[in-house]
Every structure is written in structure tokens, then in C-alpha cells.
């Protein structure tokens, strides 16, 4: 695809914590391309019910693209795998548009050389949430997480390095991008139950894409 990476820079990057940057609206200018590309992935790898490490059902539904995928399909499929444990098929390749956007967004946040090998897609219906956790299954914790929000706004919870640390709530809107790495890489975070609403492109849903380096070493 020959679209420019960013046609304009909507708002300056906002530091959130050491190593963590909020790029407000940076995925909104090309939202049609983001959504069309995700829909292509979902046509190949439909959203599935997800389960916690303990086997409890989650309220989000998930899909993946990339060399690796985060298999949350319960019992035998928790952690990063090369194929979908349910279908046995390899995860669909990461579309070039997503790969390039994630690289450019990471670079804007101070992480050049980011080269994700997985994009986890989380779909939230109204009321869906994600409990406080940190992303700990990636091999090289030097690589950041690049997280893109599309559709309905949510209240994202940002805590500290200990589960018991105080949290703040951050409203994430359509097109907002959060990048966390460095001293913030292992910060606990989550999403409060999704408030009801209608988004002009995604209806009563929020999509979150997290780009990660699950297995690749990071040479930033």
C-alpha cells in the first residue's frame, strides 16, 4: 500500500510515564485503512472466545496475525504459538500496512527498530473488560508494546510495577495509540467495562490491537 505513514501529526506525543507515550489520534487519520485491514485479517482468522491463564472465560474475543499469535483458546492453548490451536492453521501473516504503521508509531514514541512478530486483536462488546495484568509472555522485554484503539472509547487503567500500586484511569478514544516500554514495560494495566455507545465505523464495539515482539530480539 502506498499511503503515507501519517498524513498529518494530529497532536504532539504526550509522555504518560517513563518509557510510555500517548499518541492521541495517530491512528484516526487512516482509520478506514486500519479497519479494512483488520477486517481482512478477521476474515481469515475469526474472533474467538478467550480464556485467562487459569482457564476462566474472558469477555473479550481475540484474533491474531503475524508469525506468532497469542492463543487464549483455553486449556491447551495459552501463550504464543505459531498456529491457532483450535484450527491447527498458522496465524495469517501480518499485513504490511499494520507492520509499517506499528514500526512508525514505535519510532515516534522513541523505539526505533521495533519489528513486531505478532498483532493481537481484542474485540470488546459493551460491558467487556480486561482485568489488571501485565504483558509478560514476550521473550525480549526490551521491546515496547504498541497498542492501538479503534471504535468506542474506553477507560484504560494504568497502574504501576506492582499489582497493588495505585492506578489512574485514562480515556482512550478512537485512533489513540499508547506505546509502553523501558521503565514502563511491565506496568500493570487493564480496561474497565466498555460503556455503551455507537461508533460510526465500528458500531457498539471497541477494537484494540497490540503489536508485540513475542520471540524476536529487539535491536532498538
Ligand X SMILES: O=C(O)CCC(=O)C(=O)O
Residue 117 binds ligand X (CB under 6 A): no
State the minimum distance, in angstroms, from the CB of residue 58 to ligand X: 10
- Is residue 64 marked as binding? no
122 is known to lie in a ligand binding site:
yes
Residue from the set 156, 158, 180, 188 that interacts with ligand X by CB under 6 A: 156
47-53 long-range CB contacts below 8 Å, 24 or more apart? 47/121, 47/123, 48/72, 48/73, 48/86, 49/73, 50/122, 51/75, 51/78, 52/131, 53/78
CB of 130 to ligand X, least distance (A): 5
Check residue 108 for interaction with ligand X (CB under 6 A): no
Nearest distance, CB of residue 189 and Fe ion, angstroms? 6
- 72, 118 contact by CB (below 8 A): no
CA atoms of 196 and 158, how far apart (whole Å): 21
The least CB distance from residue 208 to ligand X, in Å, is 3
Position 99 contacts ligand X (CB under 6 A): no
Is there binding between residue 122 and ligand X (CB under 6 A)? yes
Candidate list 84, 95, 98, 135; residue touching Fe ion; CB under 5 A: 135
Separation of alpha carbons 185 and 180, rounded Å: 6
Told to check if 147 binds ligand X by CB under 6 A, we report: yes
H/E element holding 43? helix 31-44
CA dist list (Å): 61 to 129, 130, 143: 11, 11, 25
Query: Which parts are annotated binding residues for Fe cation?
Result: 133, 135, 189
Binding residues for substrate: 70, 78-80, 137, 163
Amino acid at each position: 500500500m502506498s499511503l503515507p505513514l501519517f498524513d498529518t501529526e494530529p497532536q504532539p506525543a504526550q509522555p504518560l510515564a517513563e518509557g510510555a507515550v500517548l499518541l492521541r489520534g495517530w491512528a484516526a487519520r487512516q482509520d478506514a485503512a486500519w479497519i479494512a485491514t483488520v477486517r481482512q485479517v478477521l476474515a481469515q482468522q475469526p474472533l474467538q472466545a478467550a480464556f485467562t491463564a487459569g482457564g476462566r472465560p474472558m469477555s473479550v474475543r481475540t484474533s491474531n496475525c503475524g508469525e506468532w499469535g497469542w492463543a487464549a483458546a483455553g486449556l491447551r492453548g495459552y501463550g504464543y504459538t505459531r498456529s491457532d490451536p483450535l484450527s491447527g492453521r498458522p496465524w495469517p501473516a501480518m499485513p504490511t500496512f499494520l507492520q509499517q504503521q506499528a514500526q512508525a508509531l514505535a519510532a515516534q514514541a522513541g523505539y526505533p527498530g521495533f519489528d513486531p512478530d505478532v498483532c493481537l486483536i481484542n474485540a470488546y462488546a459493551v460491558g467487556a473488560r480486561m482485568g489488571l495484568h501485565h504483558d509478560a509472555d514476550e521473550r525480549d522485554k526490551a521491546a515496547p508494546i504498541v497498542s492501538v484503539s479503534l471504535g468506542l472509547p474506553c477507560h484504560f487503567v494504568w497502574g504501576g510495577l506492582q499489582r497493588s500500586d495505585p492506578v489512574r484511569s485514562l480515556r482512550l478514544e478512537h485512533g489513540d495509540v499508547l506505546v509502553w516500554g523501558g521503565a514502563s514495560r511491565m506496568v500493570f494495566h487493564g480496561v474497565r467495562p466498555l460503556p455503551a455507545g455507537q461508533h460510526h465505523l465500528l458500531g457498539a464495539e471497541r477494537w484494540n490491537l497490540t503489536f508485540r515482539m513475542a520471540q524476536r530480539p529487539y535491536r532498538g
